[in-house]
Amino acid sequence: MTLLLAPMEGLLDFTLRDILTRVGGIDRCVAEFIRVTGTLLPERVFYRIVPELRHGGRTPAGVPVRAQLMGSDAVCLAENAARLAGLGPAGIDLNFGCPAKIVNRHGGGAALLEDPELIARIVGAVRRAVPAAMPVSAKMRLGFNDDSRTLECAHAIVSGGACELVVHARTKADGYRPPAYWERIARVREAVTIPVIANGEIWSVSDALRARELSGCDTLMLGRGMVSDPGLALAIVAEARGGHAELGWAQVQPLLVAFWALVCGHIEPHARAGRLKQWLNNLRRRHPQAEVAYAAVRTINDPQRVAERLGLVQPPLAEVRDDELMEVLA
């Protein structure tokens, strides 16, 4: 069982990738998308969204990170992919699944599932623009309004030269409403010649096992389930090996301390409280104690007051060193 950490715009950025990959169980990450809209982006944009590029394309825990591009202009995407490849990511991923209305209105993300020929041109252009050794993968949904073109889109991605395909088991119209149709991923896996990864609605070990059974995929991508339960990947790995692992609130608390240190070291002051509350809000699904913590700071936006209310240390604004974080997590 191989487990990947999903790209999640506005939630799973480099700070949370850092913390979640330190817990263990995750084999590879895909960073949140870098939007390409007709210009060649400066290197600083790539570094801002994927700062792991400065460290060999890996998180501090050593987990590889692929950078994700999103857009609809094949030539511009290829130019940006070439520049990005020179910065040393663990691979380049292409987004054909984002359901956001503003993205889809401009022909990006899941909107491309209505145009398999353009998908093939995009994948092919990016594949030709980067070194042969650089992995080029893609992530798609089952379709836009329905799944009638699922296989057509999957074949387009393969024909363009992608080495791997993640399938989110819902259409754009489905959004994030349960259920995820893992059994429909099996049709894709059987129809293409590259590895297929199942994604969507995996909140627990039992979900992971069911997704694996119905999709036939040995590799799964975890998103909101991992954010809500930082120990989910470890638990899935342990189950696959015939054991048991569980991360309780006592083990989550030092992760929150470490996350707060990272946020205070890298995020603008006005956004710090929101980032912590956002994660606490997700943790409520798995840990009742997070409900209490979230309620205590829900209406507070001043980071100093948030830190005081939760008993967190407000670190200096200087970048927190990796060895200090390892000490916190130890």
- Looking up residue 69, the CATH number of its domain turns out to be 3.20.20.70
105/175 same-domain check: yes
CA pair distance 95, 98, nearest whole angstrom? 7
The number of folded domains in the chain is 2
Query: Of 233, 234, 231, 235, which Cα lies nearest the Cα of 220?
Result: 233
User: What is the radius of gyration, based on Cα positions, of the chain?
Assistant: 20
Cβ distance 202 to 208 under 8 Å? yes
Q: CA 210, CA 206: separation in Å to the nearest integer?
A: 6
Question: Are residues 109 and 208 both part of a single domain?
Answer: yes
Per-residue confidence of the chain (330 residues) as pLDDT tens digits?
899 999 999 899 999 999 999 999 999 999 999 999 989 999 999 999 999 999 999 999 999 999 999 999 999 999 999 999 999 999 999 999 999 888 888 789 999 999 999 999 999 999 999 999 999 999 999 999 999 999 999 999 999 999 999 999 999 999 999 999 999 999 999 999 999 999 999 999 999 999 999 999 999 999 999 999 999 999 999 998 999 999 999 999 999 999 999 999 999 999 999 999 999 999 999 999 999 999 999 999 999 999 999 998 654 433 334 444 344 333
> Domain end: 173, 206, 240, which one?
240
**154 & 220 share domain:** yes
pLDDT score at 314: 52
pLDDT, residue 120, reads 98
Task: Say what the pLDDT of residue 33 is.
Answer: 97
Residue 229 and residue 257 in one domain: no
* Residues 197, 167 contacting (CB under 8 angstroms): yes
Q: Are both 70 and 144 inside the same structural domain?
A: yes
Structure tokens at 11: 């939630």
Known catalytic residue at 76:
no
| HSE (side-chain half, CA atoms, 13 Å) at 3 | 24
How far apart, in whole angstroms, are the C-alpha atoms of residue 231 and residue 207? Answer: 14
Tokens 């409520």 locate to 284
The pair of three-digit structure tokens given for residue 313, joined into one six-digit string: 């240390």
Number of CB atoms found within 10 A of residue 241's CB: 10
Q: Please indicate, yes or no, whether residues 41 and 160 belong to a single structural domain of this protein.
A: yes
CA distances in angstroms from 249 to 20, 202, 223, 277, listed in the order given: 15, 20, 20, 16
Residue 291: which domain range? Answer: 249-329
What is the model's pLDDT at position 77? 98
Same domain, 259 and 236: no
> 196, 213, 240 — which closes off a domain?
240
- Cα–Cα distance, 155 to 132 (Å, whole number): 20
Q: Which of 179, 209, 240 is the last residue of a domain?
A: 240
Task: Exactly one of 29, 76, 98, 264 is catalytic; name it.
Answer: 98
CA distance 65 to 52: 7
Same-domain pairing of 51 and 197: yes
Same structural domain, 206 and 292: no
324 and 208 assigned to the same domain: no
Length of the chain in terms of residues written: 330
**Concatenated DSSP letters for 234-299?**
HHHHHHHTT------HHHHHHHHHHHHHHHHHHS-HHHHHHHHHHHHHHHTTT-HHHHHHHHHHTT
Q: What is the pTM of this model?
A: 0.92
Residues 210 and 98 in one domain: yes
